[in-house]
Amino acid sequence: MGKRFDALQFPGHKNKVFTLSYDDAVVQDRRLVELFNRYGVKATFNVGYGALGFKGSKSYHGNPPVDVSKVEVNELVSLYQGHEIGGHSLDHPDLSKIGLPQAMYQIIEDKVQLEKICQRPLEMFAYPFGTFNDQIKDLIAMAGYKGARTTRSTHGFDLPADCYELDPTCHHNDPELMSLAKRFVEDDGFKPMMFYVWGHGYEFDDRHNWNVIEELLEYISKHKEKIWFATNGEILSYYQAYKRLEYSGDGSLIYNPSCIDIEICTYPGVYETLKAGQITKIKETGLL
């Protein structure tokens, strides 16, 4: 039998996934969700339960104050419908500086309250201020989160090596945003690629640059035939199911013990769908 490989593919024989992550549940998310829905993209919105309903403004970098009010508790479910709600701690402290007991409380109380509203276990977390250490990572995992986002830009498209240090590709204000988008879209390999953009809704008002996100979404959505649009949690669930695949010694049989169908590419142009809960016999392919 010839050599084969099993490059992860996303649903629909696609090797690319695009996702967004926005923090703090600010009132500008209302406009942002409308934009995301118009272009058919999916995002994860990371919410600090304790700040919901807060009203106020703040000045950044000497600019005139910008509205940083938060959305109301009772609009969370309808506002973010079709997207994902993630955790962001109860009161947005620097979790690495408040001691473990309080960090534990901040993480779990936020999760418990949000889950009462969402009526499902939360999957994603974003570190407030992007700060964490090994103990905070452990707390996030123990709380039941599948992954947590940092604020470090990679300018790359690799799937995460560590789901609790999920580094985004870039912030939406990154001057390289559109050149990264083009590199992502124009790559014609079969290696799995993730383009992951993050930010805060209020930043568009602060910089008067809503056009930046609209230009990105317009460009990305034009190529939707080769890109999977998914929330952070959907991507991690899919990726983790892929990592659970079980192989026979000669590679001809693959068991998918998860409840998610997984697609792989075993040779350029040759795809297999590994059905959930089933053993799949892999088609023979030539030597690489």
Which residues in this chain contact Zn ion in the complex, by CB under 5 A?
23-24
Please identify, using beta-carbon distances, which residue of 17 and 47 lies nearer to Zn ion.
47
Rounded to the nearest whole angstrom, what is the least distance from the CB of residue 244 to Zn ion in the complex?
A: 32
Three-class SS state of 275: coil
Rounded to the nearest whole angstrom, what is the least distance from the CB of residue 267 to Zn ion in the complex?
A: 44
Rounded to the nearest whole angstrom, what is the least distance from the CB of residue 89 to Zn ion in the complex?
A: 8
B/e letters for 265-288, b = 16+ CB within 10 Å, e = fewer, are bbbeeeebebeeeeebebeebeee
Please identify, using beta-carbon distances, which residue of 46 and 256 lies nearer to Zn ion.
46
Please identify, using beta-carbon distances, which residue of 18 and 202 lies nearer to Zn ion.
202
Q: Are 265 and 238 in contact (CB under 8 A)?
A: no
Q: How far apart are CA 212 and CA 39, in angstroms?
A: 14
Residue with the shortest CB distance to Zn ion: 23
Please identify, using beta-carbon distances, which residue of 46 and 169 lies nearer to Zn ion.
46
Rounded to the nearest whole angstrom, what is the least distance from the CB of residue 234 to Zn ion in the complex?
A: 22
Q: Are 170 and 179 in contact (CB under 8 A)?
A: no
Please identify, using beta-carbon distances, which residue of 84 and 263 lies nearer to Zn ion.
84
Q: Are 44 and 198 in contact (CB under 8 A)?
A: no
Rounded to the nearest whole angstrom, what is the least distance from the CB of residue 128 to Zn ion in the complex?
A: 5
Chain length of the chain? 288
